Amino acid sequence: DPNKDIKYCAVYPKFGFGVKLPYHLQDYCVLDMLSEGVFGQVLHCLKPTSAETVAVKVLKKEGQYSLKRELAMLHRVQQLDPEKCHVVKFIDTFVWNDNTCMVFEMLDCSLIDFCKRRKKRPNLSEIRVIAQQLLMAFEALGELGIVHTDLKPDNVMLVNCKNQPLKVKLIDFGVAHLKSEMKLGSSHQNIYYQAPEVSLGLPLTEALDMWSLGVVLVVLYLYQRPFSGSSPYNKLRTISCVVGGYYKDTLMAMGFLNLLRKLLHVDFSKRITPSEALQHEFITLEYFEENQDEYVKQARDLMGLSGPLQIPLAMQFQLPQMNAVAVPLGKTLNPPCL
């Protein structure tokens, strides 16, 4: 029954490893269900004519109230180079059984799933690489006048954990807005990543994405939500003690903390912008420009740098396989290795 949820019904004979094949969605064969939510499913699909695997987001009828805006945002985002700007590649859209389907490139896993898979928290060198790519994404979106409004670890995907273990892309533009159309009450930010101006009823700007980025970076480092309990000031003080206390190199710790403070500035008008953050010393490694220690070289390698420090804003990441030592999840927080 096409009105029911998709069920496996066959095995695609072309593949020896037994890929399950249920219904055809237009030109695509469904291989697996990646996730399911209130308003639809995300399916792992194959296009037999090209052997290309893609992710197809199938919206249920009741979840299509905001579809027009989402598609408009995706078509705008299509103007960007998905590799240089670190945004998901939107491929196509079609209607199947009265359900709208959106086709995206197939990515690997979310940031949180990546940490769970390898049972390690990212260290500061890895966090730097992730932060730079997201800043590049927000800088590019800002040039198009788009505010994402829903940054959280689930909406940051690893492209290929094996071959490019730190290359990330921003996904899910379902609640994105044009900067010119932002108004009070228009943000649907997850409460844990919500900027203070949202709850205070203040004007909304692209700065709310920078707040969310600050929270995401803290979550990556501490592997816990920083603002779920006490005030942001108390939490930031705790973060300061934890990060500063566990890094022998105070320049590295202080650079990270300084960037966090600028991202998590309560006054949105004073919050750091993506362009400014890309020039921040934590991202550029400016304070290590003359340092040739092994750990500094490794940090630069992760950033794709060599020789004199010059950071092109549209840098293409080709990242080496890492053997970083960090804290296993669920264990006592010990100093991660730079």
| Residue whose C-alpha is closest to residue 84's, from 143, 149, 155, 154 | 143
Q: Known catalytic residues?
A: 150
Interstrand relation of 146-147 and 177-178 (parallel, antiparallel or unpaired): antiparallel
The residue with tokens 């943000």 is 187
CA dist., res. 172 & res. 179, Å (int): 17
233, burial (CB in 10 Å: exposed 0-12, middle 13-18, buried 19+): exposed
Cα 64 to the chain's mean position, in Å?
Answer: 24
| Residue whose C-alpha is closest to residue 214's, from 185, 230, 235 | 235
Interstrand relation of 28-37 and 40-47 (parallel, antiparallel or unpaired): antiparallel
Q: Are 170 and 150 in contact (CB under 8 A)?
A: no
Find the DSSP H helices in the chain: 67-77, 111-118, 124-143, 196-199, 207-222, 232-246, 250-263, 274-278, 281-284, 294-302
Torsion, Cα of 259, 262, 265, 267 (10° steps): -170
The identity of residue 152, as a single letter, is K
Q: What is the DSSP string of 45-82?
A: EEETTTTEEEEEEEE-GGG-TTHHHHHHHHHHHTTS-T
CA dist., res. 95 & res. 200, Å (int): 40
* Alpha-carbon separation of residue 34 from 3, 31, 54, 107, 110 (angstroms): 19, 9, 11, 11, 12
